[in-house]
Structure 1
């Protein structure tokens, strides 16, 4: 990772139905994120929050997706900020907010990285379009929109359509897919590691394979980390929990390895909702993940020592 990090909050909740993800950025800040990163010798600038408009959970007449105009305008603001951070040769670390924020994050990164790769660590593929979405919730659409599929306003955030090619995407942890997403994944031959693959191969090998697959053909890699990729018994404060996720220990190892990848140019951590639990456990655990990603030596009991995996991605 670059030594210069810019923290950027995106307090978005309109991509889904549960109020509280808008509190994620402030909760992670309160849990001591910036100080943890500075203790690692990083130069950290907290650039505050991107303004998000207010709207109810509604669909415009003739529109099949909720809050599209508000999300699109906010995504444009986020894209501009992320692009500026990269122009300054700093590392954009975006705090969500629901996963619809990835529309803006990816637009900003792709404006500066010609051939972008994406590691999507999530229980969901988020590849629905308005035609395939069962709910109309935009947090289930950001990856499809970033591929150039779906609602025109979301697809065109940043002023161009395709932010990432299907062949440059790796899904890790996906286990709750809608029929339209399954069809799209098969049609575009998108690489997927579900939790059973992680158990069979081990998280270290999954990360090694994902990085090698993308690094050899991409100019940079963006990490989009949804905390519901982790088993909800360990990460309770998420709006769309799915049983059987990747363990927290494996996730720590995953981000430690990814943080050593020279092609990583940006990252976001999303879907922390402090209103869905007692206390702030999910925010604190997410800060631990981010600190591990940024180089903190967090070494729980692992199946394989971290040192064994370093050569593959350094």
Structure 2
């Protein structure tokens, strides 16, 4: 596979600083060398330019940094669509999860029947009226589904980017009250940690692949490292206890690789300031390799 590595070091979508170092930390953990060893060709195009929060007005407190976030989304969407046009697999390194507005918009412009597996402790399905924080990284999946603030929803000039029936949230365990209501109203497929406890990761992941990849459709994986338990991934901005174990996360990635449906991938929310000896970035590399074909034997 030809892989285009794209850094999106955005630090505007969340309150806690540090995820802008994430792309550098993941590369430092050996991502490109490991992908080469797996047999892939790697074209690392570096990082997109992202302004610092200190140099930007916050704007609407319920939609913080809306203008620079949508600007990055447009830029990233074009970069991703260019990669696909050149037959390269886009692997986008964050940054906070607001960057997925751009990455998924770019993929969806080329794959009209795209499904999304959103592996995250949070659903990121708030809108302006439900958000308790005003942080846009918590609104991105709703915007991609066509809900919320017009400027977010209409990035790249069209909406929705994803059919709501092909969205799967996996590993959720920290949902806001208004967000819960929206998820129920929109009939979004959510597999909580309780579902995984009850049914096992193999059964849940198989169903997730069937939903997101319905009708033999392509799948985008958006992997937030806070989906894992903080014991495994300490370097994340919004840790929540009771997450995926090391083996559950790897097995989910291995199943996705075996499905042969994966066309693009985000790895987000690695916060090096909060990490221990770059352990979370190293884990991000390991999980990426599993999603892209690495096996135990």
The TM-score with structure 2 as length reference comes to 0.96
Q: CA deviation at 1:71?
A: 0.6
Work out the CA distance in 1 between the residues paired with 2:176 and 2:139: 11
Corresponding position: 1:292 with 2:256: no
Work out the CA distance in 1 between the residues paired with 2:222 and 2:257: 13
Q: Give the corresponding residue for 1:68.
A: 66
Contact 2:8 2:95 in 1 (8 A): yes
Contact 2:167 2:211 in 1 (8 A): no
Work out the CA distance in 1 between the residues paired with 2:296 and 2:142: 34
Q: Is the alpha carbon distance of 1:190 and 1:43 closer, same or farther for their aligned partners in structure 2, counting shifts above 3 Å?
A: same
1:211-222 equivalent positions in 2, closer than 5 A: 211-217=209-215, 219-222=217-220
Q: Give the corresponding residue for 1:306.
A: none
Gaps of 5+ in 2: none
Contact 2:165 2:211 in 1 (8 A): no
Q: CA deviation at 1:28?
A: 0.5
Q: Give the corresponding residue for 1:6.
A: 4
Q: Choose from 137, 159, 162 the match for 2:160.
A: 162
Work out the CA distance in 2 between the residues paired with 1:199 and 1:191: 17
Work out the CA distance in 2 between the residues paired with 1:218 and 1:10: 29
Q: Give the corresponding residue for 1:282.
A: 280
Contact 2:166 2:213 in 1 (8 A): no
1:75-86 equivalent positions in 2, closer than 5 A: 75-86=73-84
Q: Choose from 221, 229, 242 the match for 1:244.
A: 242
Q: Give the corresponding residue for 1:59.
A: 58
Q: Equivalent residue of 1:290, what SS? A: helix
Q: CA deviation at 1:59?
A: 3.3
Write the deviation string for residues 160-215 of structure 1: whole angstroms up to 9, x where unpaired.
Answer: 12001211111100111111211111111111111111122111111111112232
The TM-score with structure 1 as length reference comes to 0.91
Q: CA deviation at 1:153?
A: 1.7
Work out the CA distance in 2 between the residues paired with 1:138 and 1:189: 22
Q: Equivalent residue of 2:277, what SS? A: coil
Q: CA deviation at 1:218?
A: 5.9
Contact 1:54 1:70 in 2 (8 A): no
Work out the CA distance in 2 between the residues paired with 1:244 and 1:175: 8
Q: Give the corresponding residue for 1:307.
A: none
Q: CA deviation at 1:264?
A: 1.3
Work out the CA distance in 2 between the residues paired with 1:151 and 1:253: 36
Contact 2:171 2:227 in 1 (8 A): yes
Q: Give the corresponding residue for 1:225.
A: 223
Q: Give the corresponding residue for 2:208.
A: 210
Aligned CA RMSD, in angstroms, stands at: 1.4
Work out the CA distance in 1 between the residues paired with 2:256 and 2:47: 25
Work out the CA distance in 2 between the residues paired with 1:10 and 1:95: 6
Corresponding position: 1:43 with 2:52: no
Write the deviation string for residues 229-282 of structure 1: whole angstroms up to 9, x where unpaired.
Answer: 111121100110111111111001111111222221111010000101332111
Q: Give the corresponding residue for 2:133.
A: 135
How many residue pairs get aligned? The number is 296
Q: Equivalent residue of 2:259, what SS? A: coil
Write the deviation string for residues 91-113 of structure 1: whole angstroms up to 9, x where unpaired.
Answer: 10111100001100111011001
